[in-house]
């Protein structure tokens, strides 16, 4: 049976084993997919041991190891190279193929399940890490009127904007004029929303939090309290990026709708 892991720290809370088990059952595939926690700083050594002892077929990589994974791979897809981060590894002898399915997962969820059309839209992305890079790269070809990136460390937003050919702004300079606001920061981990003015939601039809959680995050509460008519968390993106990984490994595209329905019912209390 092909073995897969989701590697992170912490990772015990990850929904990925459950999601992939549901995909496998639906598609009639037999897989063994488990979570494994690596100590920060031990990625290369721990992955080497895992490969020797368990001979995995593939792995998903989550915080804080996505950049380590990109450095480890012998080959990267274009979307992984642009993101500077890998969330999907495939092992084949001494070769390690690295991919990044986060951006396409976000787009599938927002355009598919949420029915949002990016054509002509003004997009604001908060954050300049791997998730922001993947999302911007996936959204950029969709015909937006303008994409702006803002980040706590402004210099990272400026260099990302230069690299991607988009606009950069400081958190404090942000005002109204966005159709969609995407929170690609990990600010929620420290129990806060990014320090942005609430006027950014004045014309927004949709606010997206990339983190998924059982309860509304501070960013989601800020968006909702500021009058944004639709607020979504990252569960749909999580399931869509997993579906894309599943397709990369096994060549089959699972139906994500029943998985979203099952997990939303079990894991949401907004």
Token code pair at residue 80: 């992984």
CA dist 136 and 159 (Å) reads 13
Which x/- pattern over 90-129 shows residues binding ligand NAP (rule: CB under 6 A)? ------------x--x---------------------xxx
Token code pair at residue 172: 């404090």
Q: State yes or no: residue 190 binds ligand NAP (CB under 6 A).
A: yes
Q: State yes or no: residue 230 binds ligand NAP (CB under 6 A).
A: no
Binder of ligand NAP out of 234, 249, 254, 256 (CB under 6 A) = 234
Token code pair at residue 120: 């002509």
Nearest Cα neighbor of 231 from 256, 205, 213 is 205
Cβ closest to ligand NAP, residue 31 vs residue 86: 86
Residue 225: what are its φ and ψ, rounded to 5°? -65, -20
Residue 100: what are its φ and ψ, rounded to 5°? -135, 115
CB 135 within 8 A of CB 87: no
Is 66 in the active site?
yes
Annotated active-site residue in 3, 18, 66, 247: 66
Stretch that binds ligand NAP, among 71-79, 174-182, 230-238, 257-265 (CB under 6 A): 230-238
Task: Report the DSSP pairing between strands 31-37 and 2-8.
Answer: parallel
Binding site residues, ligand NAP, CB under 6 A: 63, 66, 102, 105, 127-132, 151-153, 156, 184-187, 190, 192, 194, 210-212, 234, 237-238, 241
Residues annotated as catalytic (active site), given as ranges: 66
């Amino acid at each position: 049976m092909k073995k897969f892991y989701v590697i992170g720290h912490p990772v015990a809370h990850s929904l990925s084993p459950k999601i992939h088990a549901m995909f496998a059952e639906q598609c009639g595939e037999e897989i063994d997919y488990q979570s494994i926690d690596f100590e920060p700083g031990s990625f290369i050594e721990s992955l080497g041991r895992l490969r020797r002892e368990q001979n995995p077929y593939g792995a998903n990589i989550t915080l804080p190891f996505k950049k380590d994974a990109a450095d480890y791979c012998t080959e990267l897809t274009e979307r992984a190279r642009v993101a500077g981060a890998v969330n999907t590894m495939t092992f084949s002898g001494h070769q390690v193929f690295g991919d990044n399915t986060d951006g396409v997962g976000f787009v599938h969820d927002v355009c598919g399940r949420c029915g949002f059309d990016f054509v002509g839209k003004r997009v604001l992305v908060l954050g300049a890490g791997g998730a922001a890079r993947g999302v911007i790269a996936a959204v950029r070809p969709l015909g937006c009127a303008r994409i702006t990136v803002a980040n706590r460390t402004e210099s990272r937003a400026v260099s990302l904007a230069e690299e991607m050919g988009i606009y950069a702004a400081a958190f404090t300079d942000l005002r109204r004029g966005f159709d969609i606001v995407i929170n690609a920061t990990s600010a929620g981990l420290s129990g806060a929303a990014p320090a942005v003015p609430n006027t950014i939601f004045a014309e927004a039809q949709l606010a997206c939090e990339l983190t998924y959680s059982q309860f509304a995050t501070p960013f989601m509460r800020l968006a909702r309290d500021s009058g944004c008519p639709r607020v979504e968390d990252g569960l749909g993106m999580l399931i869509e990026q997993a579906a894309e990984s599943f397709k990369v490994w096994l060549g089959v595209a699972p139906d994500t709708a029943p998985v979203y329905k099952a997990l939303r019912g079990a894991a949401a209390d907004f």
